[in-house]
Amino acid sequence: MEESIKLATLPALYGEAYDEASYVVTVGYGTPKKNQTVAFDTGSDISWVQCKPCVSTCFPQREPLFNPSESSSYRNISCGSLECANLTRSGCSSGILGLGRGNHSLVTQTVKKFGGIFSYCLPSPSASSRTGHLTLGAVTKAAKNISYTPLNLDHETFYNLDLVGISVGGRVLPINASVFSNAGTIIDSGTVITRLPSSAYAALRSAFKRGMSAYQSTPSKSSLLDTCYDFSEVDTIAVPTIVFHFNGGADMEVDVSGTMYGMSRSRFCLAFAGNIDDTDLGIIGNVQQQNLEVVYDTQIGRVGFGPGSCTDDNPPPKNPTPKNSSQRILQLRAVTIYMLIFVWFLTL
């Protein structure tokens, strides 16, 4: 990339077609460049791809494995180097684009070109025609009404946020703020389902159940998602809104596509999970970030949320207006239900 480039945007897609439960971008590696499709992960610092020769079982991928011998810019790194020592297992993947806060992340290494700023919009997997983006540099013009919360700089890699409350159906849940501060909360594009402290999740689940009392509950078949419903007799459902409240006054309203997870054409589950206890780290996963504009500014030290700028070449029918702002309408037949091919993805 030339030094004059201050903005770079890549199409972002849901990775199901690549056997990924995260979101992927296609990046050129080496000289001459060879395209590789990798998951972008705000919880990782190290960027890597699979290379020839594959000395053990490699993860299946569409593009040919990267061949170091064909790149004039490739340099070998010793297995005893700091870079290799920091390369931890990140599940099965064809590669990672590390967007964490550490010294080895792409964000840190390109700070002089892109100012330590990046943003993304993660399209709902149910909208096959929808394309998101990963943008390095200035916030895109399509991003409007962004509200920011300061970063908690306690950890070098993760983007720690001060979550102070949660609303369900327009009502703030009676959760002591210490529940969130004791555990801590990070936002992570590489984690699928949001994890909450156990008592916070119990309060959210109870409020959600009250808001969904008109619908038929059904036993869960998932080891992670425990609150499920059978919608085989309905076409449209009214889902209580869920809003995260952060330090500084920033609010993140979860899109209706990130509130319930479609396990089949009629079975939907609340797309949140509880940690074992209140001391376990909370994680805001990519399902709850869908169709939002999420902005990271590492130089000022803040993360922002706003209406998403994902594009749709074939938009679905517009949802009816709900009776009140505490609900969002989900038209089941206007959505292609997505299911995870591998059940273990839900444990990421």
| Listed residue (159, 166, 171, 155) closest to 196, CA to CA | 166
Given a cut of 60, whether residue 245 has pLDDT beyond it is: yes
Same domain, yes or no, for 75 and 221? no
Given a cut of 70, whether residue 8 has pLDDT beyond it is: yes
Tell whether 190 is covered by a domain.
Answer: yes
Same domain, yes or no, for 117 and 155? no
User: One-letter amino acid identity for 181?
Assistant: S
Same domain, yes or no, for 122 and 260? no
Tell whether 324 is covered by a domain.
Answer: yes
Tell whether 216 is covered by a domain.
Answer: yes
Q: What band does 214 get if pLDDT is binned at 50, 70 and 90?
A: very high
* Alpha-carbon span 31 to 49, nearest angstrom: 15
Same domain, yes or no, for 98 and 187? no
Candidates 41, 45, 162, 255; catalytic one: 41
DSSP 104: T
* Alpha-carbon span 116 to 12, nearest angstrom: 19
Q: What band does 329 get if pLDDT is binned at 50, 70 and 90?
A: low
User: One-letter amino acid identity for 278?
Assistant: D
Same domain, yes or no, for 128 and 173? no
Tell whether 152 is covered by a domain.
Answer: yes
| Per-residue pLDDT, 81 | 81
Q: What band does 316 get if pLDDT is binned at 50, 70 and 90?
A: very low
41 as an active site residue: the answer is yes
Structure tokens at 211: 């808001």
Q: Which domain holds residue 92?
A: 7-137
Tell whether 142 is covered by a domain.
Answer: no
Mean pLDDT along residues 114-128? 86
- When divided into structural domains, the chain yields a total of 2
Whether residue 53 is preceded by a cis peptide bond, meaning omega within 30 degrees of 0, is yes
Same domain, yes or no, for 98 and 224? no
* Alpha-carbon span 112 to 186, nearest angstrom: 25
188 as an active site residue: the answer is yes
Tell whether 2 is covered by a domain.
Answer: no
Inter-CA distances, 142 with 255, 302, 304, Å: 18, 19, 14
Structure tokens at 26: 């296609």
Final residue of a structural domain among 137, 172, 200: 137
Winning range, highest mean pLDDT, from 6-10, 270-274, 330-334, 343-347: 270-274
Structure tokens at 68: 């170091």
Same domain, yes or no, for 97 and 184? no
Same domain, yes or no, for 98 and 154? no
| Per-residue pLDDT, 93 | 79
Same domain, yes or no, for 162 and 44? no
Whether 224 and 297 have beta carbons less than 8 Å apart is answered as no
Same domain, yes or no, for 179 and 318? yes
Final residue of a structural domain among 137, 156, 181: 137
Same domain, yes or no, for 116 and 162? no
Candidates 188, 255, 278, 297; catalytic one: 188
Give the three-class secondary structure for 177.
helix
Given a cut of 60, whether residue 163 has pLDDT beyond it is: yes
HEC profile of 15-82: HHHHCCCCEEEEEEECCCCEEEEEEEECCCCCCEECECCCCCCCCCCCCCCECHHHCCCCCCCCCCCH
CATH number at residue 250: 2.40.70.10
Q: What is the pairing mode between strands 34-41 and 95-98?
A: parallel
Final residue of a structural domain among 88, 116, 137: 137
- First CA to last CA distance, the chain: 33
Name which residue leads in pLDDT, 243 or 260.
243
Tell whether 121 is covered by a domain.
Answer: yes
Provide CB contacts within 8 A for 222, sequence distance 6+.
Answer: 228, 263, 269, 343, 346
Same domain, yes or no, for 163 and 27? no
| Per-residue pLDDT, 334 | 46
Strand-by-strand arrangement of the 171-172 sheet: 171-172, 163-168, 242-246, 251-253
